[in-house]
Amino acid sequence: SITVVIRSPAGLRRSFASSRAVHLSACNHFVSHDDTIINKTETDTHFRLAVKDNIATAGLPTQCASAILGAHASPFEATIVKQLRARGADIVGKTNMDEFGMGSYSTNSVHGAVSNPLSEDERLSAGGSSGGSAVAVQLGDADIALGTDTGGSVRLPAAYTGVVGYKPSYGMLSRFGVVPYANSLDTVGILARDASAISNIVFSTGLHMEHDPSDPTSLSRAARQRCDRASQSQLPSLHNVTIGIPTEYNIQELEPAVREAWAATAASLEAQGARIVPVSLPSTKEALCAYYVLAPAEASSNLAKYDGVRYGVRGADGDATGDTLYSEARGSGFGEEVKRRILLGTYSLSSEAIDNYFIQAQKVRRRVQQDFDKVFGLENPLYEPRQFDLSEMSADLELADKRGPVQVDFLLCPTAPSFPSKLRDLETKSSVDAYTNDVFTVPASLAGLPAVSVPAWPEQSRLPVGMQLIAQYWDDQRLLFMASKLQ
Ligand code: GLN
């Protein structure tokens, strides 16, 4: 019999002999592949790692919570999993998610929705798409969980379940063996109870400097060294840190209690010596629309390979050929949201629409990046160092704009505009309503910047509010240090 040790949120330990099935159906955050949860003894060097179902693991299926992948088993393991095994990770299971990472509530899964353990009378969403990973950490089934964050999928579930969710700088952690959703945005993210646990794994063990030749978007060794030299090695003290409050994030739709928690967090940082200043990120309003053009466009191309021939299980008619074979496999294998994204993406890339959608969205993406670069005190280390040529200066708008008065170390804003929704209410919510939930997480994704969601617990509320900190590219270590100060 298998013993599953569950640590309750209060830190109490409850043991259940052979209760895996009960536990799984109650929370549905682990995907119920056989032998996904194994009893391990904890040692100093070993830690329990839960892995999102879109990250390839040896010995366990990798299904992306999609029917089209059946019980697909990858012949190789993702680099990030290997790297963590080498650092003492014992894999406790694959976690439930939105199919292929598409969603914000972990409801778009062939295994059913993930429930938030903080639910009382009614089941609440755990956030998505890495909802299972967040819950595994929240319940203490795992010390660390891997998720993926394309537009907020690690930060949002962290915010809803009250754990820490970190999205690294784009290109820092290897994506080899991670099923692509939108390559130009995809990152592997890490969830844990506290920010220092994440920092220990990523920085104390040198993970952040490991280039992966198998991942074409993994930053080269030379670039890593350059970024490292450019970043400030000194960890911030609250007395010499400037934190920007992006005024555009104070939207009308923001739930009052979330706004209050945001103000309270800023006030507490100020009381501890930080300088708090308002800043403007004018392109924020367009970022969400740009994301929902770019991400489906890339997804439509990535998902073309699931056709029942190259990848994916075939539809019911085993004798089908050609287009019928494809449409049967894709029609029955993909869920509604995935189909919607494929259609959206295929349309926006079509010759009649590309100029109005894809190209415009790329321009917005550039502006979002420039907005961030203007407010951060640190230069973006990916750019070549500037030659200060006075004759060119007036023509260089970007440079002229950089003269603004505030140069901040970090930005502080909520991770999500509201508290977790009831799963029942989500059944009638339109997909566009769901997209709006990503409004605060997509800007950092579009700019490739590191961001972390840290739980704040307002006094009168039994649910946490995720506070998001965003930093300049490759300023991840200081970001996580700052996050640990927020906890
Ligand atoms: N909710 C966003 C989407 O559906 C982000 C998902 C993610 O980061 N994987 O695209």
Q: pLDDT per residue over 444-475, tens digit each?
A: 999 999 999 999 999 888 999 999 999 999 99
- State the catalytic residues: 52, 129, 153
State in Å, rounded, how far the first CA of the chain is from the last one: 38
| Rounded Cα distance, 218 and 314, in Å | 34
Q: List beta partners, residue 275.
A: 242
Q: Is the dihedral of CA 202, 208, 209, 210 positive or negative?
A: positive
- Between these two residues, 349 and 7, which has the higher pLDDT value? 349
Report the residue among 153, 179, 431 best suited for mutation to probe ligand 1: largest number of ligand atoms under 8 A from its CB. Answer: 153
| Rounded Cα distance, 380 and 231, in Å | 9
Query: Which 3 state secondary structure label does DSSP give 123?
Result: coil
| Rounded Cα distance, 139 and 291, in Å | 32
Ligand 1 within 6 A of 371 CB?
Answer: no
CB-based contacts of 420, cutoff 8 Å, min separation 6: 116, 118, 124, 125, 126, 127, 160, 463
Report the residue among 52, 64, 66, 98 best suited for mutation to probe ligand 1: largest number of ligand atoms under 8 A from its CB. Answer: 98
Ligand 1 within 6 A of 295 CB?
Answer: yes
What's the 477 CA to ligand 1 centre distance in angstroms?
24
Q: Number of helices and strands (H, E) in the chain?
A: 17, 12
Is 463 within 8 Å of 419 (Cβ atoms)? yes
% of the chain beyond a pLDDT of 90? 76
Ligand 1 within 6 A of 265 CB?
Answer: no
- Model ipTM over 0.90: yes
Query: What does the pLDDT average to over 7-11?
Result: 33
Q: C-alpha distances in angstroms, 7 versus 11, 276, 291, 483?
A: 6, 37, 37, 24
| Rounded Cα distance, 54 and 80, in Å | 12
Closest approach atom of ligand 1 to CA 153: 8
Closest approach atom of ligand 1 to CA 296: 10
Closest approach atom of ligand 1 to CA 181: 9
Is 71 within 8 Å of 63 (Cβ atoms)? yes
Q: C-alpha distances in angstroms, 103 versus 109, 126, 131, 219, 341?
A: 9, 12, 10, 28, 10
Query: What does the pLDDT average to over 248-273?
Result: 96
Residue showing tokens 């010390």: 143
Query: What does the pLDDT average to over 355-362?
Result: 97
Q: C-alpha distances in angstroms, 255 versus 92, 98, 243, 313?
A: 36, 25, 22, 43
Of the listed ranges 52-61, 272-281, 305-314, 331-340, the one predicted with least confidence: 305-314
CB-based contacts of 404, cutoff 8 Å, min separation 6: 374, 375
